[in-house]
Structure 1
């Protein structure tokens, strides 16, 4: 029997912090190329957090102790094509609400109600019509909608036991999938074949992908969702893939390993620098620590490593001041993880950034997705990397002072390192942090031994 304690506690906490009625829209299935051909349904994460399960087309009403789901039951024609659907009593039990009402009754409950606008503009228009008022995009909120967003953020930043259990479930399936990818990489001919092995395991465990998987030998393309390339000895394969539970809780893991099962000396050198940044960043995580400071720690470690290798040249302090390492590590160290793989980013920086903080204008740090003090039971990713992005390197060759800070001849020796990223999912604890995905190996020796039993 389903345990509703966490779900009901979330609703009580929301009611205690927000004295407004709330309407949370699940969203509905979208058509692809014709009406009957639908994309897989993914409910709004804000709906999922308080409803506990997806239900296409549903609206959840919360007002003090009153809890209603508005939903139009499928017709007999729907049953012909999609099978029988549960009745009103079963729905009421599944969602732990007082009533199930048809959506035609919704108009009586919209007065003064706050909502979170849906991200899809067409569905947001329908939502606006149902509420009888205009809606902004979800990252431009004001009034009661802004108050609701801030109350939800305060709850979702720190995960309860039920959320942590779901995230761990997604992580464990993702670990198994990544291991399958590592085992098959040497036998496969294409990136797509490795991706199929990984995503096939998700499917076997009845979990969708939490996001488009990245399985690529072109690791310098940070979010490379295409996997068309042949696998060649000497290449590194960057695999960024995570499963999502049936209730929407995400995982997000990345590993980089050699197709041949053996790192070259240059690949090994760079990999160890990225791993050192990864490990030290995780060690530094704890409540009240500023995530921006952890990002800067990882950047410093990568800078030191590249200086020791001779890729960078000059004084360490000058290199850090000029942020030269953003040439090779141009993104933020990590982000929040929860019901969204980038949790609550539909709200812009409202969740990721503490109040009154703005994004940096400095290249690299401007892409930092998380800039707030850490709290117990947050879950964050730690994902340092090294990439040789042609467009960035081209600019650096001509710009002062960057062109003199890079030893271009030395860098040429590392052409077999196009991109490396190592990413784990970390729970902040009372005194530090736990790597929830630690079972997925990261060291050079462990990876080589695993791929060459």
Structure 2
């Protein structure tokens, strides 16, 4: 938790930007796995935590933009609860930690919200991403559950994105901690992977490294020999000589800030010549993108540069042909890079994604594409100093996509399908690092993890 002044200043700015009505921010509730008292790991709503700082469940905050009044709603624990949880601070004590004077039981929240609505005032709330949030908002605002999403405040969304989009010095310090732990997770995986291990054994090393530093995982880790499957969470394969292992994982620090990195390395001590060829192309795309990071540069353009670098590099291998500019303009590079180049990162590993990519990664002028490949680019707008982003180009050889496009003769002027057939068993490669955009360009967060072929092989040895 930051100093109380941080949260007070954040709420004051939010109130100023929204300017009218009341702002309602719901914290998350516990979520049961298989019976009421057996919960999933609790994660606080990031926008609530950003403005109110608290990680306790079943709390909501109100900011009155007209009067300047701020309130926290929640219930003190009963003795029956304290028996199980131990003593916890009262609502008044929690409120004082984040600079708020007024509290009330959670049941009083409906009374305040419904009075505001009866008085003709606007109640601003965010789009819900959990069923419990949707039901709570339905009860608070007297709307049908099916109508709640429609009532979400675009004005509030844009005001929150405006603030959370630019990371402060104290936020960057926390992000550095998260990414540094993330780096150590990846180094541990790279050092300890051996033929004969299960993917989940490598996963255990990665998760244990996070836990040893007091961190949680920032998202369900991807540890797979089948790197061509973009979000592959299955970890039951046995690693064998000749495999590549893709490890995509990150730490969430105690403060709530996240890291997100990917490395791909051979299960053997060295890359095969075929693996090294494609790995170097992916690394070249990664480095080309990094060099372009700077305020004012459109991330969409950097994404397309990475696609051109990959397409051009694959010509030497014999997998692509023709004019690179024309090929990328047509979308032929998406045979190999179907994903976006990266995304915002902060208190969420895909920062603010619940608020909507059109508001977070795009602008009223720059709309998100619906084309294959480009539709997966979460961030397209011009970069600003204070943005924290990932850069993660990749090469993914997907047999089913090859078969489909080959049967359709799609992009056959740009793709050498006969040669590509020989790579169907290749898998996938991704290299990902995290950066903060500065006035001069960009700075990598966290410690360096081996990524050149020589450094990866030295670590594997």
Secondary structure of 1:248's match? coil
Whether the 8 Å contact between 2:200 and 2:236 is mirrored in structure 1 is yes
1:317 deviates by 3.3
Q: Judge conservation of contact 1:277–1:301 (CA < 8 Å) in 2.
A: yes
Counterpart for residue 77 of structure 1: 80
* Aligned residue among 97, 101, 118 for 2:100: 97
Matched, 1:268 2:271: no
Q: CA deviation at 1:407?
A: 2.4
* 1:166 counterpart = 2:167: no
> Relative to structure 1, is the Cα distance of residues 137 and 391 closer, same or farther in structure 2, using a 3 angstrom cutoff?
farther
Q: 1:91 Cα deviation (Å)?
A: 1.3
Give the aligned CA root-mean-square deviation in angstroms: 2.0
Q: Secondary structure at the match of 1:374?
A: coil
8 A contact 2:399–2:424 mirrored in 1: no
User: Does the C-alpha gap of structure 1 residues 132 and 245 become closer, same or farther in structure 2, counting only changes over 3 Å?
Assistant: farther
Partner residue of 1:391 out of 374, 385, 400:
400
For residues 303 and 438 of structure 1, the distance between their equivalents in structure 2, rounded to whole angstroms, comes to 30
Structure-2 residue corresponding to 1:365: 374
> Contact conserved, 1:266 with 1:416, CA < 8 A, in 2?
no
Return the offset for 1:415.
5.0
Change (3 A) 1:187 1:138: farther
CA contact (8 A) 1:173 1:205 kept: yes
Most deviating of 352-361 and 388-397: 352-361
Aligned counterpart in structure 2 of residue 192 of structure 1, from 197, 200, 209: 200
Kindly indicate whether the alpha-carbon contact (under 8 Å) linking 1:424 and 1:438 is maintained by their aligned counterparts in 2.
no
Say if 2:56 is the partner of 1:48.
no
Give the Cα–Cα distance (whole angstroms) in 2 for the partners of residues 388 and 203 of structure 1: 34
Residue 122 of structure 1: CA displacement? 3.1
- Cα deviations across residues 228-277 of structure 1 (Å, max 9, x unaligned)? 10011110000000011233211111100001121011111101111111
Scaled by the length of structure 2, the TM-score of the pair is 0.93
Distance 1:273 1:140 in 2: 45
Query: Residues 270 and 378 (structure 1 numbering): CA distance in 2 closer, same or farther, change over 3 Å?
Result: same
1:207-356 residue pairs with structure 2 within 5 A?
Answer: 207-349=215-357, 350-356=359-365
Corresponding residue SS for 2:360: coil
* Aligned match of 1:423: 432
1:14-64 Cα offsets, whole Å, 9 max, x none, are: 122112321110020111121121111111111011012312000011225
Query: Structure 1-normalised TM-score?
Result: 0.94
Output the CA distance in 1 between the equivalents of 2:433 and 2:84.
Answer: 42
Q: 2:387: which partner in 1?
A: 378
**Greater mean deviation of Cα atoms: 131-140 or 35-44:** 131-140
Task: Name the SS for the 1:162 alignment partner.
Answer: helix
| Displacement after TM superposition at 1:173 (Å) | 0.8
Is the Cα–Cα contact under 8 Å of residues 195 and 239 in structure 2 kept in the other structure? no
> Which residue does the alignment assign to 2:162?
154
**Residues 104-150 of structure 1: CA deviation (Å, up to 9, x unaligned):** 222343113311143112331122212334577887555xx211111
Cross-structure match for 2:34: 33
Aligned to 1:124: 134
Find the aligned partners of 1:197 and 1:122 in 2 and give their Cα distance. Answer: 34
| Maintained 8 Å contact 1:266/1:413 | no
Report the Cα offset of residue 86 of structure 1.
1.5
1:140/1:246 Cα in 2 relative to 1: closer, same or farther (>3 Å)? farther
* 2: CA distance, partners of 1:200 / 1:105: 43
* Distance in structure 1 (CA, Å) of the matches to 2:99 and 2:450: 41
Listed as ranges, the gaps of 5+ residues in structure 2 are none
Count of matched residue positions in the alignment of Structure 1 and Structure 2: 450
Q: Distance in 2 between matches of 1:367 and 1:420?
A: 17
TM-superposed deviation, 1:216: 0.3
- The residue that corresponds to 2:3 in the other structure is 3
Q: Alignment partner of 1:255: what SS?
A: strand
Q: Matched residues in 2 for 1:141 and 1:374: separation?
A: 30
1:408 aligned partner: 417
Question: In 1, Cα distance between the equivalents of 2:148 and 2:287?
Answer: 35
| Cα contact 1:330–1:363 (8 A) shared by 2 | yes
Q: Is the 8 A contact 2:342 2:378 kept in 1?
A: yes
